[in-house]
Structure 1
C-alpha cells in the first residue's frame, strides 16, 4: 500500500507540544498542514513554536533555509473545524480523555469525506472505544508519536477492533515516508511502549520501598551497569509523576487490576505532595538551583585479589574471566557451577534467589552475589549483595575484584534478583506476554522499546543474551520469594525456555 501523496492535506487537532510537533513532521515531509486548536490563540502559538524549531535547525546547519521557508509556508492555522473538509488525514492530539475524544471524532466525521483517515495520538486509551459509535469506525486508527515528535523516530500504528487493514497499511507507509519507524500494535492498554515499560519504573519503586538502596544509587546502577540513559527515578522526575502515575493507573485499571501493573504508594505520595519532578522543582531529586548534587553509595577501595579460581561457566558474566586475566590476576579454571572463588569470598551471578537463601540451600557461607551488566567490559559500576551469614570482610574482597577491573562497586540489600537482572527480567517478561497475546510481533516490540525509550537493547534480545533459562529462573525466584502474581512468568517465555527456541 502506498503512502499518502504529499498533495494530501493533513490536519492536526491540538496545538500543544505533541500536536505542533506532528504538524512539523507532516509539513517537513511535504504536506499542506492545517493546525487547529479550540483554545484561543493556541494554534497560532503552536505554529510560532514550529517556526522557532525550524529556525534552530537552520542555525545548526541541519536544515537549509529554503526548506525551512517552504515548510513554514505549508503550515497554516485553521480558524475552525469547518476548514477540515478537504483533509485526507486528520490527526487528533488533544487531552487524554475518552469522552472528549469521542465527541471530537463525532464532530469530525460530519465534516470530512468518507475516505478521510482519522487518527488518534492517544498514548493509552482504547482506539476501539474512541471509534465506537461512529458511522465509519473502520477508518479510525492510532498514530502514536513520541515526544518530541520531530526528533523521536518511533510511531506506533494501532489497530482498533474495527480498523481497516488497508487504512493501517497506508499509515505505516506514510509514517515511513515521513522518516519515521512504524511498529504495529493492537489496541490494548498502553499499546507496546507504555505497557512493556511499566516494570522499569515499578521495580525501581519496589526496590526503594524495600530499602535495597537509595534513589541516586539505584539510578547509578541502572545507568552505569545496565546501560540505560537514565535511571527510573531520574526518568520519572523528567516525565512528571502526575503523568507517569496516571499512565500506570490507567494501564492497571484497564487490565482489570492485574498485579503486574500495580501502581506504587511511594509515587502516589509524591503526587499528593505536589512533588511532580523537574517541572515543580522537587520529585525524587531536588531540582532547585544550587541544590546539592546526589551522592551515590560506593564501596571503599579494596585490594585486588592475589588469585582467582573460576569454577564452571559464568554465563553472561563469562567476559569477566578474560578481563581478570588481562588485568594480570592469576586465574585458574576448574569444573563447577559458575562460581568465582577467592580467599575470603565466593562470588556468583544472581539467578533471582537471594544470597541468604542460596547459603541456606548449601552454598558457601561467604557468598556474595553480583548483578547483571549490559557489558562487563565497559560497565562502570557493578552492584553486589552479601548473604546474612557472610562476614563483612567478604564485601571488601568482592569489591576489590571488580575495582581491579576499573569498576565502581555499590553494595545493596540482599533482595531477589538484585537491580539490573530483576528489572530486565520483568521487562522481558512483559514483552514476552505482549508477544504471546498478539499485541505486536517480538521484533516490533524490541524495536519500539529501543526507539521509543532509548533502551540499550530490546528486552527480548537482552533476555536471549542473559539466557532465557536464567530469566525464567529469576522470575520464578521472585514469585516464590514474594508470593506475588506480579512476577508470574509468561507462557511465551516458558515455552521458549522449554524448547530452546529463540525469543526473536
Structure 2
C-alpha cells in the first residue's frame, strides 16, 4: 500500500511537528484533538512557524501554500475514516492509549496502519486488546521533529513486516532516518543513552570530580556537545529521573541502568534544572551563576626527572616525546630514581592499584588518561598519598602552553574511561539483543543523541582491546555487575574483529 492520507490524534508540540513533516512530504493530514479548539490552535501555530521559514528563505511561498492546503481540521474523531495511517501523539498513559486504539479500530478500515508516538510504553501492550494487532506499531519521533532527523519504527510482537516496511518508506519520504527496533524498554535511542548520565552520576557520587569539572572533561576530552549535568539541567530531572527509574524497573533492576539517589533527592526538592532556576547549576535566565573556572595551574620553577610506565607502548612513546619537548629530563632506568616524578598511563584502575601492580612508589605517582586524544583536554589522577609537589609537577608539565588539564580524585578508571566504555558496552549489548543492527545503532545514536561517534564506531576508534581492558579491570576491582563486559564485545575484542564487521546476525 501507499500512505497518502494520514490522521494525527493529539496536536501538541510533538504531534504538530509530525504533522508538519508529513504535510511537507505531500501527505494529506487530518488533525484531531479531544480538547476543543486545540487542533485549530496547533495549525495556527504551525502557520506562524512556516511563515517565519518563508521570511528566512528556508521555504518558498508556494511550499507554504501547498503544505497548509494539505491540512484538514476535524470536528470529531469519526471523520478520521478513510485514511491510510493514524498517528497517535497523546498523553503517555497506557490505559488511555489502549482505549483510543480500540476506538480507532471501529472507525478505520482493516488496512489502515495505527501507530503510537510513545517514548516509554510497550507497543505490544498498546496493541494487546485490539482486533488487528499486526497493523499496530511504534513510530517514535524526537523533539523538535523537523530538526531531529530520526524516527524509531518499533516492531511489537504482533506487528507485521509489511507494516514496518511501509513505515520505513514513509520515514524516508519525510526526510528522516527510520530505524527498525524491537519493542524493548527505551527502544533504541533512549536505551543507548542510559550510560552517559547514570555513570556520570555515579562518578559524581564518589566525589571524583565536581559537576563543572566533569562537564568540562566530557566536553573537552571526550567531545560531547554538552556535559551530562548541563544536559540534565536542560531536559529537567522531572523528565530524566523518571525515565531512569522507568527503564531500570522495566528491565527488572538490571544494574546497567541503576538510577542515582542524588537525582531522586533533587527531584523531591524541585531543583530539577534550568526551567526552575536551579539544578546541578544555579541560573539567572541563561547565565550559570556557579560554574567553576578551570583549575589553576601551579607555578613550578624546576621539574624533576620523569619516569614513565604505560599499558600500551604507543602511549608511552607519546608521553616521552612530550616530556622531552618541554625540556624535562626523562628517567629511562628500569625502575624510577628516588626523586623522579612517576607518570603512569593505565586503563581501568586507580593510581593506587596501578602503583602496586607496577611496583612503584605511590607517593610520587600520577596517572594520566590516554584513552582520548592526548592533544585535547588532559586528565590527571594522583593516588591518595601522592605528595603535592609531584601533583603540582605533573599538573604544570601537562598544562604547558595553556593546555587544559583537570586533576581528579582517585577513581577506578578516569572519568572518560568510565563513561565512554560504558556507552560502547551498552551499545554492544543492544546489538547482542538484536534490538537493532550495529550500523543502525551507530546512525540512530548520532542523530538522536549527538554523540561524537556512533558508539560501535567509537569502540573501533578507541580500540576494542582498550575498552575491554577497562571494563575487565573495573569489574574485577569493584565487583559491580554494571561494568561486566558484553559478550558481544568480548568476542570481537579477543578475535581482533572490527566491531562493525559482519555483526548483523542476532546469534553473533
TM-score w.r.t. the length of structure 1 is: 0.91
Q: 5 Å matches for 1:380-395?
A: 381-395=377-391
Distance 1:9 1:384, change over 3 A: same
How far residue 408 of structure 1 moved from its aligned partner, in angstroms, is 1.1
Give the Cα–Cα distance (whole angstroms) in 2 for the partners of residues 297 and 190 of structure 1: 36
Question: Which residue of the partner structure matches residue 208 of structure 1?
Answer: 204
CA distances 1:376-396 after superposition (whole Å, capped 9, x unpaired): 33x2x2221111232222222
Provide, for residues 346-367 of structure 1, a one-character-per-residue CA deviation record: whole Å limited to 9, x for no partner. 3333411101111122343222
Give 3-state SS (helix, strand or coil) of 1:125's partner.
coil
* Cross-structure match for 2:366: 368
From the superposition, tell whether residues 162 and 435 of structure 1 become closer, same or farther in structure 2 (CA, over 3 Å).
same
The CA distance in 1 between the partners of 2:320 and 2:183, in whole Å, is 47
Does 1:298 find its partner at 2:295?
A: yes
Give the C-alpha shift of residue 131 in structure 1.
1.1
Match of 2:322 in 1: 324
* Range 169-178 or range 34-43, more displaced: 34-43
Larger CA deviation: 257-266 vs 342-351: 342-351
Distance 2:33 2:131 in 1: 24
The aligned length equals 496
| Contact preservation (8 Å) 1:156, 1:183 | yes
What do residues 181-211 of structure 1 show as CA deviations (whole Å, max 9, x unaligned)?
1111100111111111111110111111111
Which ranges in structure 1 are unaligned for 5 or more consecutive residues? none
Change (3 A) 1:29 1:68: same
State whether structure 2 residue 160 is matched by structure 1 residue 175. no
Which residue of structure 2 aligns with residue 435 of structure 1? Answer: 431
**Superimposed CA distance per residue, residues 275-334 of structure 1 (whole angstroms, 9 cap, x where no aligned partner):** 221222221111234662511451414559698676678478589459838966579798
SS in 1 for 2:367: strand
2:114 aligned residue (109, 115, 118): 118
C-alpha distance in structure 1 between counterparts of 2:283 and 2:95, whole Å: 36
Compared CA separation, residues 382 and 55, structure 1 to 2 (3 A): farther
SS in 2 for 1:91: strand
Aligned to 1:84: 80
Higher mean displacement: 464-473 or 180-189: 464-473
Residue 46 (1) aligns with residue 42 (2): yes
Where in structure 2 are the equivalents of 1:54-203 lying within 5 Å? 54-203=50-199
For residues 307 and 237 of structure 1, the distance between their equivalents in structure 2, rounded to whole angstroms, comes to 44
Moved more, 301-310 or 62-71: 301-310
Higher deviation after alignment, 251-260 or 285-294? 285-294
Aligned-residue offset at 1:454: 0.4
Cα distance in structure 2, aligned partners of 1:62 and 1:328:
51
Task: Decide whether aligned partners of structure 1 residues 114 and 270 sit closer, same or farther in structure 2, where only a CA change above 3 A counts.
Answer: same
Contact 1:345 1:394 in 2 (8 A): yes
8 Å Cα contact 1:344-1:393 kept in structure 2: no
Give CA deviations for 1:124-149 in whole Å, capped at 9, x if unaligned: 21111111121111111111111100
C-alpha separation between the residues in 2 aligned to 1:200 and 1:359? 29
> CA separation of 1:361/1:177 partners in 2, compared to 1, >3 Å: closer, same or farther?
same
C-alpha separation in 1, matches of 2:225 and 2:95: 36
Is 1:27 equivalent to 2:23 in the alignment? Answer: yes
Per-residue CA deviations over 1:50-85 (Å, capped at 9, x if unaligned) read 222212222222111221222122123222211211
**Alpha-carbon distance in 2 for matches of 1:56, 1:340:** 67
Task: Tell me the distance in 1 between the aligned counterparts of 2:88 and 2:421.
Answer: 35
Distance in 2 (CA, whole Å) between partners of 1:256 and 1:212 is 29
Q: Structure 2 vs 1, CA of residues 231 and 327 (structure 1 numbering), >3 Å: closer, same or farther?
A: same
Q: How does 1:432-471 map to 2 (within 5 A)?
A: 432-471=428-467
Q: Is the contact made by 2:30 and 2:73 (CA closer than 8 Å) also made in structure 1?
A: yes
Deviation, 1:106, is 0.9
1:84 & 1:39 partners in 2: Cα distance? 16
Equivalent position to 1:495, from 453, 478, 491:
491
Q: Is the 1:141–1:160 Cα contact (8 Å) retained in structure 2?
A: yes
Whole-Å separation in 2 of the counterparts to 1:95 and 1:262: 26
8 Å contact 2:323–2:330 — kept in the other structure?
no
Check conservation: 2:6, 2:30, Cα contact below 8 A.
yes
Distance in 2 between residues matched to 1:212 and 1:27, nearest whole Å: 50
CA distance in 2: counterparts of 1:413 and 1:225, whole angstroms: 17
Q: In structure 2, do the counterparts of structure 1 residues 152 and 322 end up closer, same or farther at CA, with 3 Å as the change threshold?
A: farther
| Deviations 1:471-494, CA, capped at 9 Å, x for gaps | 122122222333221221111111
Instruction: Using the TM superposition, name which of 312-321 and 265-274 deviates more.
Output: 312-321
1:208-239 C-alpha deviation (Å, 9 max, x unpaired): 11111211111111111111011111111111
The Cα of 1:48 is off from its aligned counterpart by: 2.2
Instruction: State the secondary structure of the residue aligned to 2:284.
Output: coil
Cα distance per residue 1:435-458 (max 9 Å; x no partner): 111111111111111110100011
Is residue 2:265 matched to residue 1:269? yes
Change (3 A) 1:299 1:349: farther
Q: In structure 2, do the counterparts of structure 1 residues 265 and 311 end up closer, same or farther at CA, with 3 Å as the change threshold? A: closer
Which structure 2 residue ranges, 5 or more long, are not aligned?
501-508
In 2, distance between residues paired with 1:286 and 1:395?
A: 31
Q: Do the aligned partners of residues 463 and 66 (structure 1) sit closer, same or farther apart at CA in structure 2, a change above 3 Å counting?
A: same
